[in-house]
């Protein structure tokens, strides 16, 4: 059934693209001139010089590349990406929102995520009882925006008060980043001819610019029926409803916006939005299937370009792309620091060990160094690196309809879902399987009183509006072996947003073809174990207030006792692929900072890092919107001459 759906959805996607403004092929501009999409591609194997070279065509890379290329100054810009177009390599799984969600629950062995993602195996994780984790990161034009859950919400006002203090620059104050958040997207309110109006979805229209931006943000064209029931459960446990999650406030519950273009019911990524706009409206050159091997420098330590290796049958061919102005690294939390290190920027001992000449000794590249807690707002995050968000999962049998029967390939249910998607861009495949029953909170005093003084002091270092946990409901039946014809399931999880454990990465060689050595270090700090246990107990409390949750099927009610629960958490806690801060931004007096407040790499010129690796701290919740904003702000800084 799903194989037939793939064929049918191919036609739907093609028709959808024809209805929208996304075109791969030829277009006629306003002057009547034919523009060939093929003109947007660089010629591999030839040494060429541009004003700006962007390494990595992901969330940040496509955004900053488009802003520079579309500027009236007519800068020449090249974007170098080791992957290709996800529409080609992975097809409907990446474009159809609900299909991507369903198929990620059962990837075929040896295929699945490898089509558009790096699959890096972590070092054994001590906090996870020695488990090795497949850590996924986008490897395609669009990066992780081509395969993620499409969750779009913004961080809190207090987050950016803290950022400004951490980096010593009010460039990151809330009012300035709020404008950049708005700049990147166009918002579409719910279409209540496709979404049940009784679901009571609310939003703050002031959080979006009426003129709109390139990225599409909406509520999709489908919301499951579980929302009001989960909202009621969150309300009963003390949380309050908020109008939306995009105005600088998160504590409370509401509906989550997603990066779905509701006109076509397809994923809106940095590739479909920013990169395609640049390809149609500028001289940008795209180099897909091209691996940046190293950054080159002149005698004054100015970045002059990159050496590139073709990711093809002629893989040994290396050529050089020059940069007159800057090289901008946007290769993600693991590969940005790797590229710096193989280019001679990083901890001197690590570079020497791998036979790399030291250009700049920067101990903070990819590393983690936790120092004692200080009694100030900067205390929790001021000198830390590599941050991520572990998750506490549980699954429940429910008495309402969810995606479960589509996962089971129930013919009747699936046929209707296909028909809805193809003929009216609605139904389960037009949504992401999540978005309602979303809550953020600081845990109540009844849980906090069990914390050690060290944990309480650590948590007090975060801003007052920074939640400690995100409650996330989604229509997953992953791991359920025998699904009956009337069975329906929901996964309800808690995401830890105030982690004390910090990870790190290093290199295994001087070659970018060799994967980095990564260790997120989840749960290695006892403060996180205390939080994980409390999140698990709070999760069960919230579930007990839900009228639709009939039975806890995972881990099951027989799991009890603090010691047994902690052991289960070590063996079963999840991960959400939100690594950040491995090339963190910081003040001059922070010896672990890699970039300054405008993302310029210390000790050299003409080089920036612009992606989540450069965050001074990982904001609460899902970082995609903040990565877009971050790239917008740095693009603005560059165009202003900074």
What are the structural domain ranges in the chain?
Answer: 2-639
Whether 320 sits among the annotated catalytic residues: the reply is: no
What was the pLDDT predicted at 485? 83
326 vs 75, 166, 565, 608, CA distance in Å?
11, 25, 51, 8
* Residue 168: strand, helix, or coil: coil
Question: What is the pTM (predicted TM-score) of this model?
Answer: 0.93
The pLDDT of residue 21: 46
Residues of the chain with pLDDT below 50 are: 1, 3-22, 105-112, 368-384
> What does the alpha-carbon distance between residue 279 and residue 272 come to, in Å, rounded to a whole number?
10
CA distances from 540 to 401, 434, 448, 552 (A): 21, 19, 16, 9
- Predicted confidence (pLDDT) per residue in 337-376, tens digit: 999 999 999 999 999 999 999 999 999 999 743 322 222 3
d(CA 361, CA 509): 17
Alpha helices in 289-410 (DSSP H): 332-342, 348-353, 404-407
Catalytic annotation, pick one of 153, 216, 335, 578: 578
> For residue 106, what pLDDT is reported?
44
To the nearest whole number, what is the mean pLDDT of the chain?
A: 90
Tell me which residue of 245, 267, 60 sits closest to 149, measured CA to CA: 267
Nearest to 160 by CA among 146, 178, 187, 140: 178
Q: How far apart are CA 434 and CA 369, in angstroms?
A: 36
Which residues face 517 on adjacent strands? 506
pLDDT computed for residue 34 by the predictor = 81
As a whole number of angstroms, the distance between CA 433 and CA 580 comes to 26
The H or E element that residue 171 is part of is: none
Q: Give residue 113's pLDDT.
A: 52
DSSP 457-519: HHHTTS-TT--SEEEEEE---TT-----TT--EEEEEEEE-S-----EEE-SSS-TTSPPEEE
Does residue 622 carry a catalytic annotation? yes
Distance separating alpha carbons of residues 283 and 281, to the nearest angstrom? 7
**CATH no. of 2-639:** 3.50.50.60
Query: How high is the pLDDT of residue 590?
Result: 94
Cross-strand bridge partners of residue 290 = 310
In DSSP terms, which residues pair with 294 in a beta bridge?
307
The per-residue pLDDT for 368 is: 46
394 Cβ contact partners less than 8 Å away, ≥ 6 residues apart: 491, 492, 493, 536, 539, 540, 543, 552, 554, 555
Backbone angles phi, psi at 454, to 5 degrees: -60, -40
What radius of gyration, in Å, describes the C-alpha atoms of the chain? 24
């Amino acid at each position: 059934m799903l194989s037939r759906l793939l064929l049918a959805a191919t036609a739907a996607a093609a028709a959808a693209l024809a209805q929208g403004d996304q075109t791969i092929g030829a277009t006629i501009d306003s002057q009547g001139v034919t523009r060939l999409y093929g003109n947007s591609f660089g010629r591999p194997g030839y040494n060429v010089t541009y004003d700006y070279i962007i390494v990595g065509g992901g969330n940040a890379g496509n955004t900053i590349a488009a802003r520079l290329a579309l500027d009236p100054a007519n800068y020449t810009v090249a974007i170098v990406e080791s992957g290709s177009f996800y529409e080609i390599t992975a097809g409907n799984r990446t474009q159809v929102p609900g299909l991507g969600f369903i198929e990620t629950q059962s990837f075929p062995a040896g295929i699945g995520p490898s089509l558009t993602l790096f699959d890096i195996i972590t070092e054994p994780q001590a906090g996870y009882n020695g488990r090795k984790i497949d850590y996924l990161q986008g490897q395609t034009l669009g990066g992780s925006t081509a395969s993620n859950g499409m969750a779009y919400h913004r961080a809190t006002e207090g987050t950016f008060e803290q950022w400004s203090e951490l980096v010593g620059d009010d460039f990151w104050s809330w009012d300035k980043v709020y404008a950049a958040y708005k700049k990147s997207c166009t918002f579409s309110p719910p279409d209540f001819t496709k979404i049940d109006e009784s679901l009571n979805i609310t939003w703050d229209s002031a959080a979006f610019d009426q003129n709109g931006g390139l990225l599409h943000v909406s509520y999709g064209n489908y919301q499951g029926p579980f929302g009001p029931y989960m909202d009621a459960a969150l309300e009963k446990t003390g949380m309050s409803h908020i109008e939306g999650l995009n105005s600088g406030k998160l504590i409370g519950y509401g509906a989550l916006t997603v990066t779905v273009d509701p006109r076509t019911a397809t994923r809106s990524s940095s590739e479909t939005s920013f990169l395609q706009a640049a390809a149609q409206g500028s001289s940008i050159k795209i180099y897909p299937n091209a691996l940046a091997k190293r950054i080159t420098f002149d005698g004054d330590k100015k970045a002059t370009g990159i050496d590139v290796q073709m990711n093809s049958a002629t893989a040994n061919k290396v050529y050089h792309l020059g940069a007159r102005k800057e090289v901008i690294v946007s290769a993600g939390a693991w590969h940005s620091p790797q590229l710096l290190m193989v280019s001679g920027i990083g901890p001197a001992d690590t570079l020497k060990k791998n036979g790399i000449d030291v250009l700049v000794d920067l101990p903070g590249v990819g590393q983690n160094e936790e120092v004692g807690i200080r009694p100030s707002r900067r205390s929790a995050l001021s000198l830390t690196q590599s941050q991520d968000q572990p998750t506490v999962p549980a699954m429940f049998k429910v008495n309402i309809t969810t995606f479960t029967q589509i996962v089971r390939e129930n013919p009747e249910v699936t046929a209707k879902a296909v028909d809805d998607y193809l003929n009216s861009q609605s139904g389960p495949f037009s949504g992401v399987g999540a978005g309602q029953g979303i809550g953020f909170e600081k845990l109540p005093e009844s849980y906090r009183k069990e914390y050690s003084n060290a944990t309480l002091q650590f948590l007090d270092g975060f801003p007052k509006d920074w939640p400690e946990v995100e409650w996330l409901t989604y229509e997953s039946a992953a791991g359920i072996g025998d699904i009956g014809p009337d069975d329906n399931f929901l996964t309800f999880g808690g995401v830890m947003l105030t982690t004390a454990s910090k990870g790190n990465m290093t290199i295994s060689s001087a070659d970018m073809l060799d994967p980095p050595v990564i260790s997120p270090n989840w749960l290695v700090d006892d403060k996180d174990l205390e939080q994980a246990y409390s999140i698990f107990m709070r999760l069960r409390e919230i579930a007990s207030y839900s009228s639709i949750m009939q039975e806890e099927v995972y881990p099951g009610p027989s799991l009890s006792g603090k010691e047994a629960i902690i052991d289960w958490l070590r063996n079963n806690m999840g991960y959400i692929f939100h690594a950040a801060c491995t090339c963190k931004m910081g003040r001059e007096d922070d010896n672990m900072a890699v970039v300054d407040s405008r993302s310029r790499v210390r000790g050299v010129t003409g080089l920036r890092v612009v992606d989540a690796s450069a965050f001074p701290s990982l904001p609460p919740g899902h970082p995609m919107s903040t990565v877009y904003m971050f790239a917008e702000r740095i693009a603005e800084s560059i165009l202003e001459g900074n």
